[in-house]
Structure 1
Amino acid sequence: GILAFGLGFVRLYGLLTNLGFNRSHLKRVSEGKDLGQCIGLFIMFKFGLLVLFNGALVLSMYTWTDVMGRGFQTQEHVTVIYVLLLYINLVAISQIFTVTFNGLLEIAKSQIPRIVGNVIRLVATIFVALTGTRDNAAVLLAWTFVLGGAVELAGALWLFRGYPVARPTRQLFWSYMKFGIPSMVLTSMIMITVNIDKVMLQAFWSAADVGRYAAAQRIVLIVGFVSTAISSVVMPSISGLHSRGEHRRIQDLVNRTERYLLLGAIPPIVLFLTLPDRVVYILLYNRSDPDILLVLALWMLIVVVNTPYRALLQGADRPDIMARVGVLQATASIGLNLLFIPVAILGVTVFGWRGLGAAVATLLTQLVISGYLRYQGYRIAGVRSNPRHVLVLPAAVGMAVTLMLIDGLVPATRWYHLAAFGLLGLAVYAGLLFLLRQIDHEDIAFFMRTVHPGAMARYIQGELRGDDGPVRRRERRPPRHGGRAGSNRGGFLPAHKGRIPRR
């Protein structure tokens, strides 16, 4: 709970390390602007923002504790905040390189440093959990984040060797500002929305309530990581298609992305919805509320299917609309959290649902945003959600019934029981999809290629070897059908009937 609060608190200030310029850099690199100048300008922006971030957080802490004489629940809270301040600095610097890789659609290079850093942090976390004491557990866990961030930065810097860095032009500077200032509102609002729930739980209740809520949230976020990764590919692809006015291909790409994200997200979501008490007992040893997990699972399903629509608005160069999305999302989140978390606010009695209230507020906020994103997607590019997507629901219901029947016969009490239940449910789900003709042999082949370790290893080796030659923006061609820049491959999603033919 202390660690989750510290992360939420520091990340609220961490919005100052971005302010929309990550999106500006991703956008301009994907459009084919001079790579060296883009990198040089991004470095300038990033270090200027880091000075602003560190100054704002340290000054506010000094004002709160020394000038106003206030404090936190424990001194451990303060120490964790300052340790995580260092972690945010490391991550922000590594974004100079990883955002550049994403803009070039060099996905392996952007993800490998993060994966290695997280593995190192995982090992350190296990060590702390087994050898640490209650007195310093939160601080030691915070230092594992610093260790992982340092490894991530070192790996990203090593992969960045040979990339050009040049002095930016004034025209490019104003190009970044034009896209970044409206995106600044979006980025700030997103950071507030993502972290305000933990901060409010700490303010109105305790670190224990933060921990129970954050633990359930961490479980469902595993599903969200996939959609985040897909978004990093889809957004530059849409940007390239939009710059060429190919709206029909954008519609095709958004619909296929939504379909495959939905197909992939449903199995774990159904597991969480069907057996929330088992998941909480096995993975968290009853240190959370199954109702929180259930509500957050519904929230994550909506987040996943909204991913391509967010990528559409970002890639269509409409930061003004994304800014409105951010303001709407933050306003709804703050208002709903104030309604559901505390017992009373300004003398008015409200729900007082603690962590469950935070989960309900998060779900309702995402529902509000979902409708607005789809409306804007239709208005800008004529994108409509395919009504055939609802035909996956019978397969989801079949999986849920199977899981409940099995759990009634053999209750799950160990993690391997949960894994076996999940695999059996997945088999039923896939079989029903095949019988309902919602997937075919081509879809199955696509999923097998996606998870095939050999194919992934060959892709990573090719990217790290630089099979496309030295990274020079003038040598790169815009990606087609979402393919990787500089390659002659097609889209990362398989073709289907009615797709727009290549010219």
Structure 2
Amino acid sequence: MFTFARYSVPTAVVEDFYKRVDVILIRLFAGESAVGFYETALRIVTPAQQLSGSISNALGVKVSGLTSIGQEIRSDIVNAVIYTGLLAIPMFFGALAMPAALMQTFFGSEFAGGATALIGIALFFVFYIYQDPFATALEGSDRPQIVFRLRLFALVVHLPLALLLGNYWDGLLGVIGATLAVEVVLLAIYQAVSHRELGGIIFPKPVVAQLGSAVVMYGLIMLIKPMVPLVSWVPVIALIVFGAGAYFLSLVVMSSHFRLTLNNVLVPALGRIRTRIR
């Protein structure tokens, strides 16, 4: 408990500053309009973090309990990793398929200039949220010092890189590019730590199925997109719904794990509904 308390506050401070520093640097190098692009693009992808956050919260409680009685925790981490990116992966490919249309539809035509920023943010968000299960597991199993060191490393590397790219390349995209590079490296380090501390690298096959399903979704959207005039929210929303349907149907076909999960969740739910109706 003392070890966790010793590191929890500095970890939170470092992580909070790391999240805020992008806005500060973008404002410095590119002005308020670029900050507007960044923050609006971030709002589009943050719903994916709600799912990963709920998964990590449940994982933290379970890991803490299992660690206290000396039980293994790897299988629970694997299960968390499987569904952490369930929404983030298709959201990236959706952003890649129609970034300007998404920005214009949700925030107005003046935000179309943030299309490239949306793609970069959606991509770094994928790498960012996949770190959650590892960090949660390490903190829940009495190793918060590892998480603190990694957060501090990310901040120390990110600051000079963002200053360099933001100043000499592009104020908005340079800072986003620096964040993306750091998040990729940080996830790789978490995998190395997992190999050392958690029994091996964790990259479950269902994640590959999610990637494959998102690629199928992207291909179908790009096929249909030229036939649909994306000039109002109705066709844009319709294309989003179509893409979501294509993603989940592809996932049902590609992933036996996802089919099993659906069966375990939907069958009891339908049973309860039938009982209430009767």
Residue of structure 2 in register with 1:41 after alignment: none
| Pair 438,268 (structure 1): closer, same or farther in 2 beyond 3 Å | farther
Quick check: 1:395–1:432 contact (8 Å CA) kept in 2? yes
Residue of structure 2 in register with 1:300 after alignment: 125
| Pair 440,283 (structure 1): closer, same or farther in 2 beyond 3 Å | closer
Distance 2:265 2:221 in 1: 23
Once the two structures are TM-superposed, the CA of residue 295 in structure 1 deviates from its matched residue by 0.6
Return the TM-score normalized by structure 2.
Answer: 0.87
Once the two structures are TM-superposed, the CA of residue 355 in structure 1 deviates from its matched residue by 1.5
Structure 2: 5+ residue stretches without partners: 274-278
Residue of structure 2 in register with 1:413 after alignment: 231
Give 1:386's aligned amino acid: F
| Pair 397,451 (structure 1): closer, same or farther in 2 beyond 3 Å | farther
Distance 1:383 1:246 in 2: 17
Which of 272, 283, 286 lines up with 2:106 in the alignment? 283
Q: What does residue range 30-41 of structure 1 map to in structure 2 within 5 Å?
A: none
Once the two structures are TM-superposed, the CA of residue 356 in structure 1 deviates from its matched residue by 1.4
Cα offsets for 1:283-307 (capped at 9, x unmatched)? 2224242110001111111122222
Residue of structure 2 in register with 1:265 after alignment: 88
Cα offsets for 1:314-345 (capped at 9, x unmatched)? 11111211121111111122122111222xxx
Residue 13 of structure 2 is aligned to residue 196 of structure 1: no
Residue of structure 2 in register with 1:186 after alignment: 11
Greater radius of gyration (CA): 1
Distance 1:224 1:195 in 2: 17
Identity fraction in percent: 24
Q: Calculate the aligned-residue CA RMSD, in Å.
A: 2.4
Return the TM-score normalized by structure 1.
Answer: 0.50
Distance 1:219 1:394 in 2: 22
Residue 129 of structure 2 is aligned to residue 311 of structure 1: no
Distance 1:304 1:235 in 2: 15
Once the two structures are TM-superposed, the CA of residue 450 in structure 1 deviates from its matched residue by 11
Distance 2:67 2:202 in 1: 19
Give 1:395's aligned amino acid: S
Distance 1:449 1:415 in 2: 35
Which of 362, 378, 384 lines up with 2:201 in the alignment? 384
Quick check: 1:433–1:439 contact (8 Å CA) kept in 2? no
Residue 48 of structure 2 is aligned to residue 223 of structure 1: yes
Quick check: 2:45–2:88 contact (8 Å CA) kept in 1? no
- Count of residue pairs the alignment pairs up: 269
| Structure 2 counterpart SS, 1:263 | coil
Distance 2:269 2:151 in 1: 34
Once the two structures are TM-superposed, the CA of residue 309 in structure 1 deviates from its matched residue by 0.9
Which of 158, 169, 187 lines up with 1:333 in the alignment? 158
Residue of structure 2 in register with 1:236 after alignment: 61
Which of 180, 203, 212 lines up with 1:363 in the alignment? 180
Q: Structure 1 stretches (4+) deviating beyond 6 angstroms?
A: 449-452
Quick check: 2:90–2:214 contact (8 Å CA) kept in 1? yes
Residue 271 of structure 2 is aligned to residue 426 of structure 1: no
Q: What does residue range 40-55 of structure 1 map to in structure 2 within 5 Å?
A: none
Residue of structure 2 in register with 1:476 after alignment: none
Distance 1:422 1:447 in 2: 24
Once the two structures are TM-superposed, the CA of residue 265 in structure 1 deviates from its matched residue by 2.8
Residue of structure 1 in register with 2:261 after alignment: 443
Query: 269-278 or 385-394, which moves further after superposition?
Result: 385-394
Q: What does residue range 439-478 of structure 1 map to in structure 2 within 5 Å?
A: 439=257, 441-446=259-264, 448=266
Distance 1:206 1:220 in 2: 22
Quick check: 1:190–1:329 contact (8 Å CA) kept in 2? no
Structure 1: 5+ residue stretches without partners: 1-174, 343-349, 456-503
| Structure 1 counterpart SS, 2:201 | coil
Cα offsets for 1:256-308 (capped at 9, x unmatched)? 11112233333322211211121112122242421100011111111222221
Once the two structures are TM-superposed, the CA of residue 448 in structure 1 deviates from its matched residue by 4.4
Distance 1:387 1:236 in 2: 22
Residue 69 of structure 2 is aligned to residue 252 of structure 1: no
